[in-house]
Amino acid sequence: MVHILGAGIAGLLLAEELDKRGVSWTVYEKAERVGLEASGKNAGIIRSYETDSVLAALTEESLAYYKASEPTFDLCGIAFCPWEIDYETTQHSPITLVNGKKGIFLANNGSVLSLEVLSRLVGQSYSYGSIKMQSEASVAVKDNRATLVAHASSVSEDDAVVVACGEGAIAITKALGRPLRLLPHLRTIYEYENTQGYSGPIQWDEEAGSYFKTYKDILIATAGEQLPVAPRRPGEVDNYEADPRSPAILAKLFPALTLDALKGFRSCRRLMPLDNRPYCGRDKDLPNLFWFTGLGGRGMSIGPALAYGLADAIEKNEVSPLLEALSPSRIST
């Protein structure tokens, strides 16, 4: 049996993968429904342009998963204006973004409707496990093994425990004395009516830290705010007021994002590891404990490949070189 803490994209993809392999699992989710944290609120961009080769390979693998499994997946391009590019030497043909800046066109990216991905993962029929909602869980140590602490759960000697609970992982790192140094960042997504009927590729101005994409009949955008914040205490909610400067910045950057088309905003947290690489693998001391956290701004992009690799580690004790690079043991002090 594999006990998974958290029904975000990480926990649910792992459950799906274990189920395909005939491995018993249970997901424990503290909220009353899924999608209240980053996994249900993000921009849903599956971005294959990566300077980190490990993350690039994981995205490539994940694109194949979405193409095969996700009805809302759309293979799309990104008109991208990167920080560091030499337009004289790049193999990409220069293009012009809608804001007039010079950029490149990146094919083979993707877009999904994040909340619908979660709904599919929750709603599909499973043979080997179930999801327990309103079930907050934690991890304790007994006889050099991790045990799950959750209402009405029984854990046997052979069980594995997976920490896949986003920001909730910080409390567990503290309780177990693991210095994973995960830092929450608050980010905001703005929603606009698509009044001008924009239907082109995602527009991404990296210099400004801003992008927008079409999402059903609306446009979603971020102005690139990234606020490091303290982890929330139990029961504490974010009541962040969006930065009033951001819609004005977006309106200036992208002609389709006019102030009168703005419908609303939502903020959520990205859990950033110091080296920008997630933690996905076995704990350094407790052989039955696994970490699947610190997905930063890439949980949708690389989640499927990570879930596949972690299922191999749990089921067969096999660790691919990609997952080796994401081992929680890489941080030792």
Ligand X SMILES: Cc1cc2nc3c(=O)[nH]c(=O)nc-3n(C[C@H](O)[C@H](O)[C@H](O)COP(=O)(O)OP(=O)(O)OC[C@H]3O[C@@H](n4cnc5c(N)ncnc54)[C@H](O)[C@@H]3O)c2cc1C
- Name the residues that contact ligand X, by CB under 6 A: 5-11, 28-31, 37-39, 42-45, 136-138, 164-168, 187, 189, 268-270, 293, 295-301
Residue 88 C-beta: closest distance to ligand X, Å = 31
Residue 91 C-beta: closest distance to ligand X, Å = 25
Which residues, other chains included, contact 3 with Cβ-Cβ below 8 Å and sequence gap of 6+?
25, 26, 28, 137, 148, 150, 153, 155, 159, 160, 161, 162
Return the SS3 of 203.
Answer: strand
Residue 212 C-beta: closest distance to ligand X, Å = 11
Residue 101 C-beta: closest distance to ligand X, Å = 21
Residue whose CB is less far from ligand X, 238 or 318 = 238
Residue 146 C-beta: closest distance to ligand X, Å = 14
Residue whose CB is less far from ligand X, 96 or 322 = 322
Q: What long-range pairs does 66-73 form, CB within 8 A, spacing at least 24?
A: 66/110, 66/112, 66/304, 67/110, 70/112, 70/117, 70/120, 71/116, 71/120, 72/112, 72/113, 72/116, 72/117, 73/46, 73/110, 73/111, 73/112
Residue whose CB is less far from ligand X, 7 or 97 = 7
Residue 262 C-beta: closest distance to ligand X, Å = 16
Alpha carbons 288 and 71: distance in angstroms, whole number? 34
Alpha carbons 307 and 157: distance in angstroms, whole number? 23
Residue 84 C-beta: closest distance to ligand X, Å = 21
Return the SS3 of 244.
Answer: coil
Rg over alpha carbons for the chain, rounded to the nearest Å, is 20
> For 160, how many CA atoms within 13 A lie in the half-sphere containing its CB?
27
CA angle 69, 266, 230 (to 5 degrees): 100
